[in-house]
Amino acid sequence: MKRTIAVVSAGLRQPSSTRMLADRLADAARRELKQLGAEVDVELIELRDHGHDLVNNLFAGYPSAELRRVHEIVARADALIAVTPTFNASYNGLFKMFVDVLDDTILMDKPVLIAATGGTGRHSLVLEHALRPLFSYLHAVVVPTAVFAAPEDWGAGDTAQGSLVHRIDRAAGELAREVDRRDKPVHGDPFDDPTPFEHMLAGE
């Protein structure tokens, strides 16, 4: 079966360690899913490219054509890999703006791998106190392993949790298995399938 993984990176610099982590996770997830017999497409979304559109969406209430295309990629994807840098103990504003303009049903029952980069390993719990509750609120299926990369991880990377490569592989494996056990997401459209008025009249 053909599967699509959407990858969202909220990194700001170029080159970006956040983007690098996103790429490593995407490669690993692709490999794991292939082993389960799927064909895999990866769609990478650099939020930096959509910064102005995100502000405009918040102010005007509707997305630009380009941003709507991005929403559709996420909606149709079998899974999402979401990676943000850590800013003042949380995801950055760009990342939150992206989440804020998503339809709040778009991630329902969708496997999501959360990951973050940060200036020190002491920020690693950002994944557990900021990202995981955010995606739980949106009813996403967040895989147990969340991947945090501190500067030292790009070196020898041996931490109490094992090396970064090991954590990436474990998280990607978890994501692939969640995708594999699901059908392709159905992307419902209220305009194609309106609630009949009799139901509304009856208070249903």
Least distance to another protein, CB of residue 76, Å: 18
Q: Does position 59 bind another protein by CB under 8 A?
A: yes
Q: Does position 62 bind another protein by CB under 8 A?
A: yes
Q: Judged by CB under 8 A, which stretch of 33-41, 52-60, 91-99, 110-118 contacts another protein?
A: 52-60
Burial per residue of 57-93, b for 16 or more beta-carbon CB atoms within 10 angstroms, e otherwise: beeeeebeeebeebbebbbebbbbbbbbbbbeebbbe
Nearer of residues 66 and 128 to another protein, judged by Cβ: 66
CA distances from 175 to 55, 79, 201 (A): 31, 8, 43
Sign of the Cα torsion 164, 124, 178, 105 reads negative
Least distance to another protein, CB of residue 69, Å: 12
Both tokens assigned to 71: 């929403």
Member of 56, 74, 103, 135 binding another protein (CB under 8 A):
56
Residues from 184 through 203 that contact another protein (CB under 8 A): 190-191, 194-197, 200-201, 203
Q: Distance (Å, rounded) from C-alpha 40 to C-alpha 29?
A: 9
Q: Which residues bind another protein (CB under 8 A)?
A: 55-56, 58-62, 64-65, 190-191, 194-197, 200-201, 203
